[in-house]
Amino acid sequence: MLTVAGLAKRHALASRPLFSDLALTIAAGEIVALVGESGIGKSTLLNCIAGLETPDSGSIRIGPQALDIVRLDEAARAVLRAHRIGFVFQAFHVLPTLSVAQNIAVPLLLCGVPLAEHAPRTQALLERVGLAGFADRWPASLSGGELQRVAIARALVHRPALILADEPTGNLDPRTADEVLALLLDRVREPRASALIVTHSQQVAQCCDRIVTLTADGLR
């Protein structure tokens, strides 16, 4: 589902590269935890995989057609991202001026799913994440745990094959974090999607199929 090879990235003005020859393969249906010290480059790696940042060299092949997101132009990248990838950010990134249901439907708009399907699919996911009845609420009236459930629903509504989650429970209290994470794992496992989940929690990492650690010397 995901094959990263020879990936190198150095931020402008940085004294040394974050990584220089990174390799990572994630099979269909596999859930991988990505751990590593703060500042080591986990978010940069996820952003490169999602095509939000461009690596200096290497390839990132995604999906059954193994399209290399690094080689695509911006428009083709956006299409690949919209159809194949679901992204959950630490800071939720729920849009404050859209209702909960409208937030969740954004990927359906990007994928060109017919409008008539938006409400039923959004409603079904709201139920799956324990937010039935929240469709017309505004984000400002939701708790952190509820906002992250909205973000999870939004990352899954277009049935992406690859879920990327960057410290998805980092802004939540421990009990809410456990609940939200269990929910995310269930919702990824059910359609047999693949996932790469950045986490600082040993407990979270243990729930994944495999743990990879990003170090200054690469992935291990």
Ligand X SMILES: Nc1ncnc2c1ncn2[C@@H]1O[C@H](COP(=O)(O)OP(=O)(O)O)[C@@H](O)[C@H]1O
Q: State the residues that interact with Mg ion by CB under 5 A.
A: 42-43
Residue 85 near residue 162, CB atoms below 8 Å: yes
With CB under 5 to 8 Å by kind, the binding choice for 18 among ligand X, Mg ion, none is ligand X
As a residue count, the chain comes to: 220
Task: Confirm if 162 and 112 have CB atoms less than 8 A apart.
Answer: no
Q: Which is nearer to Mg ion, 41 or 160 (CB)?
A: 41
Q: 210-215 and 218-219 as β-strands: parallel, antiparallel, unpaired? A: antiparallel
Residue 11 binds: one of Mg ion, ligand X, none (C-beta under 5 to 8 A by kind): ligand X
Q: Which partner from the list ligand X, Mg ion, none does 39 bind, CB cut-off 5 to 8 Å by kind?
A: ligand X
Nearest residue to Mg ion on Cβ basis: 43
Q: Please, what is the minimum distance in Å from the beta carbon of residue 33 to ligand X? A: 13
Count of residues in contact with ligand X, rule CB under 6 A: 11
51 binds, among Mg ion, ligand X, none (CB under 5 to 8 A by kind): none
| CB nearer ligand X, residue 43 or residue 194 | 43
Nearer to ligand X, 41 or 107 (CB): 41
Determine if 64 is a binding residue for ligand X (CB under 6 A).
Answer: no
Within 14-53, which residues bind ligand X (CB under 6 A)? 14, 18, 36, 38-44
Q: What are the distances in angstroms from CA 4 to CA 22, 147, 158? A: 7, 31, 23
Place of tokens 């249901």: 101
Chain positions 136 to 165 lying near ligand X, rule: CB under 6 A, are none
CB of 216 to ligand X, least distance (A): 11
| Cβ atoms within 10 Å, residue 194 | 22
148 binds, among Mg ion, ligand X, none (CB under 5 to 8 A by kind): none
192 in contact with ligand X (CB under 6 A): no
Q: Does 120 bind ligand X (CB under 6 A)?
A: no
Q: Are 32 and 50 in contact (CB under 8 A)?
A: no
What is the binding site for ligand X (CB under 6 A)?
11, 14, 18, 36, 38-44
